Amino acid sequence: MNLGGLNDLYRQLIIDHAQHPHHHGALPAASQTITLNNPTCGDVIKLAVTFADDRIEQIAFSGEGCSISQASASMMTDLVQGQTLTQAKKEIQVFLEMLMENPAATQDDPDELLGDAAVLAAVIKFPARIKCATLAWKALEQAISEEEAHE
């Protein structure tokens, strides 16, 4: 049985986050709520964010999705809660570049910047699953840009 490749993708850290996601739920007083879906598979993420003083004060997510999308959302919310918008935007960019076919010659080290989420670099070997990993990050990108447009 060829389960070696499986261990590459489903590290224990990813399974832990997927089975016990952090920041899972709703934020009744959210400044921005973004619902994004992955039209190829029907997965949905609802991301709620409260902004204060150019920072992400509170963040939570809900919705339906696979282990990769749930773990990614859990890791991302861990990472960005309390951060400045500038910092969060930088991390979104590094995360998305990490999973691009031809990553731009960036000086940034995902391992240093992204915390647990850096393990999701393994998803690049599973092209059909990249959209699962990026869904939450794209929702946050949209939440921030709508918040900034709002100001």
Cα–Cα distance between 124 and 101 in angstroms, integer? 8
Cα–Cα distance between 65 and 78 in angstroms, integer? 18
Quickly tell me which residue has 């915390």 as its tokens: 115
Q: Does 40 bind another protein (CB under 8 A)?
A: yes
Q: Closest approach of Cβ 95 to another protein, in Å?
A: 20
Q: Closest approach of Cβ 18 to another protein, in Å?
A: 8
CB 11 within 8 A of CB 124: no
Read off φ and ψ for residue 46, nearest 5 degrees. -115, 115
Q: Does 96 bind another protein (CB under 8 A)?
A: no
Residue 35 pairs in a beta bridge with: 46
Q: Does 12 bind another protein (CB under 8 A)?
A: no
Q: Closest approach of Cβ 1 to another protein, in Å?
A: 5
Nearer to another protein, 9 or 121 (CB): 9
What does the binding site for another protein look like in residue numbers (CB under 8 A)? 1-3, 5-6, 9-10, 15, 40-44, 64-68, 126, 128-129, 132
